[in-house]
Structure formats: C-alpha cells, structure tokens
Amino acid sequence: MLVLWFLIFLLILFYVRHFIKWKHGPPGPLPLPLVGNLVQLIMMGTQPHLAIARLSKKYGDIFRLQIGTQDFVFASSIEALVNLYTRDEALGRDVYGTLLDRSAGQNTGIIMAVGETWEINRKWTFKTLNRLGLRKGSGIEDSINEQCDFVVKSCETALSTRGTGWVAIDVSPMFLIPVTKVVFRLVMGDRIDDADNGAALEKLIYLSEEMAKSTSLGAGLDAAFPFLRFIVPKLTGRNVQMKCYTSIRDAAQKLLDAIRLEQKSSSLNDDPKSLAHLYIQEMDNDPSSALFSDFHFGSLYMDLLQAASDTTNSYLQCLILFSVTQRSCQEKIYEEIVNIIGTCNRATLEHRRLMPYTESFMLETHRHSKIVPTLLPHKITKEFTIGKYIIPQDTQILADIHSVNFDERIWKNPMEFDPTRFLDTDGSVSKEKRKLCVPFGVGRRACPGESVAEWTAFIFLVNIIRSFMLAVVPGENPPMTEMHVGITSGPHPFKVAISRREIN
C-alpha cells in the first residue's frame, strides 16, 4: 500500500510540474510519465511525420509534445518556423545519446556544436569555403561537371551494352559516390585521385550507409531515452554507430597526416587547394588553440561529408523520380535546355538563373520530397515569448515540414505536383514563393552545404535530361512518389528506363 501511495504521489508531482511549466506555453496532448506522448503517436497508426501533421491540425501552428523524457515544440507553418528557428535564444543544440558519444563528450564540429565553438567554427568554415571559390561556384564547378560526366558516361555504357533503344537503370546507387566525391575534393583536395584515398572514400560511403541503417529505429529511441544506448546498444544502433564514428575519424586523421606531410615539402601553403590545407595552416598559426585540432577536424570532416552527401544524394534521386512520374515537366525542362543551352553544350552554373522553369521544378521537388522532414532540432537557451506563448528554456524546437509544405493557406491544391506555382506572371521565379521553401533550414543554423547541394543537383539534372529521356520501365508500375522517412527522406528503390535523345 505504501508503494502505491508513493507512485500516486509521483504521478501527481509529474502533472503538477507539467502544468506549471506549460501554463503559458503552446497547447499539446497530455503526456504520460516516462514515455511522454509516444503512446499517442504510436496509436495514431501512421508515420511519425504524418502523425505530427495531424496533431498540428488540432493544436495549431505551434504546439508541444513530450517524446520520452524530452520536451519539443513544433512549428507547423512557415511563419512559425521562421520566427522560432531564427531567434537568438533558439540557436542551441541538445547533444545527447550517441551524438554525445560521437564527439567524446566534447563541444565540437559545426552541426552539433553550440556557443562560441559553433560561432567560430561556422564563421571559419563559411569564410574558407568562400575562399575556395564556393561563393561564385568557380572553385567547385569543374569537380561537379567531372562527376556528372562520369554518371552520363556510365548510362551511355549501359545503353551500348544493352544494344537496344533503352536500358533500365537502378537509381538508388547512382549518385552517392559521385556527389560524395564532389564534397570530398572540396574538403580534402585532389587526394581523391590517389588509389589509397579512393579506397578510403569508398569506405567512408560504406560506413555512412551503415550508420544510416543503424539509426532508422535507434535515432528515435536515442532522442527519447538517451540512457537506453547503454542498456540496449544493439537496438539503439550504438554499437554500429560508434564503430563507424571511430573508423571515419581514423580515416580523417590518416588523410590529414598525409596532407600535413605534403605541405612541409611543397608550396601548397602558398596556394592551398582544400579546406584541410587551410585547417592545417590555422593549427600551425596557433598550436595552442583549443578549437583547431586534429580531433576537431575529424568532427568537421564528418559533418561536411556526411550531411552534404546524404542530402544531395536523396535530392538527386527525387529529381529523377519526379522527372519520370511527371513526363510533361521533364519535356518542359528539355525545351528550356534547348532554348538556353543547346543540345550540344554542357550546363554551367551561369545557366541556372536563365532557366526559371527548371529552377521551379527543383523547388517543387523539394516541397514534395521533404528530404529533412523535421529539420535539425534547435535548443532554447533562454526562455522567450512568441505571440501568446512562453517557450521554456531547454525545450527543443522541431519543424513540421509536411504541414509547412502542404499548407492549404499558402499552396493551392498542395498535393498536386505543379512547378508553375513558383513562377510569377512574367515567367520568372517568384522571390516570395522561394522564401516559403526551406529544405536546408533558415537563419544562422541553416545547412552550410546548401549551395553545393543545389549546384550539384542543377548540373546533374540538366545534363542528364539533355542527354537522355527518362521513363517508367516498360511493363512495370510507375515508381512510388511517397518517400521513406527517417532522419532524412528519400525515394523507395526504383528503376528508370533511359534512352538517348534524338539531337536535331
């Protein structure tokens, strides 16, 4: 009986604390002790991002959920998203679970770092990428074209081998290696051409895929109950993730040591070719720096390569998917290619501003695919008020991108795929509508790899459609346009029938 009364006391205490904390906060369903609102989400019988979208219909554009032991506030409209994600009080990150283990408990890198460490790393990274030519694209365009040529030639070879008018290509493995090479060269320079480093890159890709598989379930458990990673490390994916983290760090260290040795015996210091070269210079200039070290470089290496490669790979798959399922859109893109570029010329980044329909197709693909369905969480570092709600300190913010991207108040017939919704009456891309699509986040915490992803996607898409017609494989059903959803989203595995275009 005493135990029962004690449990009742704990239950009352839980709800008293809950009501005091959220008395002036956003509305939301009543949580249960320990599990929070997980039971409600599971009982809704749908994918988590769709369950969250349904809750937004009931509770509004800003609402709260408790997932396990963690408090979250969701932004379900573009206005709420921008207002919450750009607040100075909302620029923190809650590094928990395996993410904390990944950095050995240190505040490191750029994606998960906080405070002064994040500020310095972010500023240095953007400055360095711009120095390497990222601002205008000049420093990376050749690399993108080289990898795009590899994809096009691979398709040409498959067609020649087949000996018929078309060939079925599996899209799932089509882009990951080429786009990773683009980012790898930016970070590590031309070392990719060395056989040993090519093998290291393939190992990085393999490890990244293994990590993604291990987090399909583990990420949710890790976020809700961080302590579970020690109790059931296999279920949460901790064993695989820690093995992969260690291997990737070891590979980064090996590459960094090789570049350091090169710099001592060459003139690379006068004309650095990569982010790694400039990072070594920074360490040499201030050997006692607590922020520039081999360990911190390993974190930056993982952040840039994994984040940029995974999202760009998924985005390119989505662009091919909708090119196949929306054949009229594909032909309009080809018509724009013929008019602006010509059939014998290669697309360049300069062409992008001259091709509004292609740009609008890319934006509409972002809107439908929701590649990062919740964006990365922001942590509230100081209590603040938004509208009539007080958001408590230490709460995490997540974006309900499904509700944002299919908001009937903004998008007419939102379930339809219609690139023209992003065009003004004069045929140009609407600046206002462009602002409503935020696949890489907003504000100072936005993804640093956005430019690389967009440039890579544009050049690949245009050069592929310039060279080939993309269609549903004869005798098969059209591929599913519904995404499989995890930390990042992407198409279910599918094949596309490609055939050479007739060039007049």
Q: Which residues are annotated as a binding site for heme?
A: 447
Strand order of the sheet with strand 167-170?
167-170, 495-500, 468-471
Q: Is 348 left (phi over 0), alpha (psi -120 to 50) or beta?
A: beta
Greatest Cα-to-Cα distance within the chain, rounded to the nearest angstrom:
88
Nearest to 94 by CA among 73, 77, 79: 73
Q: Is 387 left (phi over 0), alpha (psi -120 to 50) or beta?
A: left
Q: Which residues share a beta bridge with 496?
A: 169
Helix (H) or strand (E) run with residue 252 in it = helix 238-264
- Residue 342, Cβ neighbours under 10 Å: how many? 11
- Residue 158, Cβ neighbours under 10 Å: how many? 13
- Residue 468, Cβ neighbours under 10 Å: how many? 23
Q: What distance in Å separates the CA atoms of residue 497 and residue 328, rounded to the nearest whole number? A: 16
Q: Where would I find the H helices in 27-85?
A: 38-43, 48-59, 78-85
Tell me the CB-side half-sphere exposure of residue 225, using CA atoms within 13 A.
Answer: 18
Q: Which amino acid is at 477?
A: N
Nearest to 446 by CA among 181, 184, 101, 126: 126
Tell me the CB-side half-sphere exposure of residue 410, using CA atoms within 13 A.
Answer: 17
Crossing angle of helices 294-325/115-131, nearest 10°? Answer: 70
Contacting residues for 217 by C-beta, under 8 A, at least 6 apart: 235, 236, 237
Q: Using DSSP, state whether 3 is helix, strand or coil.
A: helix
Contacting residues for 184 by C-beta, under 8 A, at least 6 apart: 192, 201, 204, 305
Q: Is 14 left (phi over 0), alpha (psi -120 to 50) or beta?
A: alpha
Q: Which amino acid is at 154?
A: S
Contact 51, 41 (CB under 8 A): yes
Binding site, annotated residues: 447
Q: What distance in Å separates the CA atoms of residue 11 and residue 13, rounded to the nearest whole number? A: 5
Handedness of CA 470, 473, 475, 481 (dihedral sign): negative
